[in-house]
Structure formats: C-alpha cells, structure tokens
Structure 1
C-alpha cells in the first residue's frame, strides 16, 4: 500500500501501554522473543502510518513490586526492583523494533546512562518529532506508583492525544468475560464510571490523572492481529474511556 492509499489516522501521537505479562507468550515467566517480535510488528504497522508512538511496558513478567511486598519484602525496595524489570522489557522491545528498522529510544526515569537515556522531556518530544519510538522505562522513578500512572503521566507530558491500553480482551466489560458468558462490553464509558464500578481499566491514580487532563484511554485486544493499526484507521473493536 503506498502513502496515498493509506487510511487517514484518527490520532497523530499516541502512547501504547502494555503489561509485562503481554511479553510472556504462553510461558509463565520472563520474555518470549516471538511474542516480543509480534508486538513490535504491530507497533511498526502503526508507525508506518506516520503516527508518533510512545510506549510504557510493565514489569510483571519479571518482578512485580506489590507482590514482592506481599511476600514480606520492604515495599520501596520491591517497587525499585519492579522498575528495573521494566527497563529490561523496554530494552527487549527496543531490540525487536530496531530489527524492523524502527529507530527507538529507551528513556528511563532512573538514570542508567550506559544502557538508556535519562528522562528529559524536551529531548523525548524531539525524538517523537523525528519519528523515533520512545519507550519510557522505570515508571515514574518513584515507589508506590504503577506503570499505569507512569503511562498517563508521560502521555500528558508528551502531548499524546490518547492512551492505547493493550490487553487480553477487546475492551472494557461490566464483569470478567472469561468467567461470565453474559458479560457486556462497553463501547464508551466515562472515567467516573470506571472509578465507581471498579472496572479495572487502570488503577485509580491513572484514571484520575487522565480524567483531569481530558486524555481518552482506548482499551483493545493486543492479541488481535492488526488491531492496533485498525483502531488508528477507525476500525476494530475497542472501548473508549473518556470524560
């Protein structure tokens, strides 16, 4: 498809938020390289439309701070370990994207100059303007904040028009569709309803931050081939969380 035939995209700059577990494939732990490569191809298909892309990837496939704390580890230490896990995932995604010819920068909230850039907002914006994919790692750099909150924070700082939350299901449901056959999917849902009904889109801090800055969240299935690109082109199944 040449440039003239490409679909008109809905958004020009977006942030893709995925969990660390999305990189596990069918494994119970760690990174599954074919799955990382598949997600990288999804990102490339959107990048090829001319969309500027940021990413935030969780660390739950390697270490989750909250579960570490639940097992008796001091919470702050556990959260810092979780942040380091997100850096490992970001580097894996960077490698997969660059194999596809996509210039990518890993930008960490915790300085580690030998492996990635420190977070400097103006520099990150310039990378996006140059059509580089920016992967924001190490959360916000602070314990007690999730990567959901980090994603919403960075999306606002970068001037993104929407957050795309890639999940295992094709939107937001009133109850778990894997457990209840009568679960109903929302086409649109308000931020307040998400908070009041505990719909589990993102944690409450992230939802409140998105609401206060009028930043829509698009929840879609990352397992659906071409789903990310399809939504940008105005197609596909998803739920839009908005004010």
Structure 2
C-alpha cells in the first residue's frame, strides 16, 4: 500500500472515525489492505462484511456439518487456512496474508 494512500486513509479515519477501503493494487486482496491500514493506524477493530456468519471449520455452503468457531487464535486460524488452501473451489473467509500482518502487529 502506498504511503500517500495510507496517509489519506488515516486522515479520513481520524476525521470521521471510520474508513471504507477496497483494493489498492492488482493482486492485493482487500483483507490485506485492511490489515495493513489497521496496523499502520494502530486500530483496535476491523469489521469485515461477508455473507458468512463467522469462521467455520470448513465452507458451510459445501459442508453442512461444518462447525462455527466462536473464538480462534491467530495460530489456529493460520493452520485452518493452510489446511484448506489447496482444496478445489475454496474461497477462504480471510486472506492468509492479512492474518500474518495482524498476528505480527497485535
């Protein structure tokens, strides 16, 4: 994420209390952009809008017996994402790179 973009987003966050952002360059998922901005601004909260009710052991749309996780550590989330990374047709709830950034900076 460019310094200019980061500074602009941080300014809006300080002025308005919330910032809504999308991808800033090809190949960078919005999860990663949000994690980078949260890290740079020392945010205490990130809200991710999604059509799922939370994090599950597997994709609940494909596996009806998937279990919803009420809590998960960064280490366990990394393991869960790694286990499902190479399965065909998998869309992960959060980008593994975003998890790495958040784990490092929280």
What TM-score do the two structures reach when normalised by structure 1? 0.35
Q: Which runs of 5+ in 2 are unaligned?
A: 85-91
Q: How many correspondences in the alignment?
A: 97
Q: With CA pairs under 8 Å and 6+ residues apart, which has the higher RCO, 1 or 2?
A: 2
* Residue 119 (structure 1) aligns with: 5
Q: Which runs of 5+ in 1 are unaligned?
A: 1-107, 110-117, 215-243
**CA displacement at 1:210 relative to structure 2:** 0.7
Q: Which has the higher strand share?
A: 1
1:119 is paired with a residue whose SS is helix
Contact 1:194 1:201 in 2 (8 A): no
Q: Which has the higher helix share?
A: 2
* Residue 210 (structure 1) aligns with: 102
Offset from partner CA, 1:157-210 (integer Å, 9 cap, x none): 122112222211110111122232321110001111122122633222111111
2:19 is paired with a residue whose SS is strand
* Residue 181 (structure 1) aligns with: 64
1:208 is paired with a residue whose SS is helix
Q: 2:15 aligns with which of 130, 133, 152?
A: 130
CA spacing shift, 1:213–1:172, aligned 2, 3 Å: same
Contact 2:78 2:99 in 1 (8 A): yes
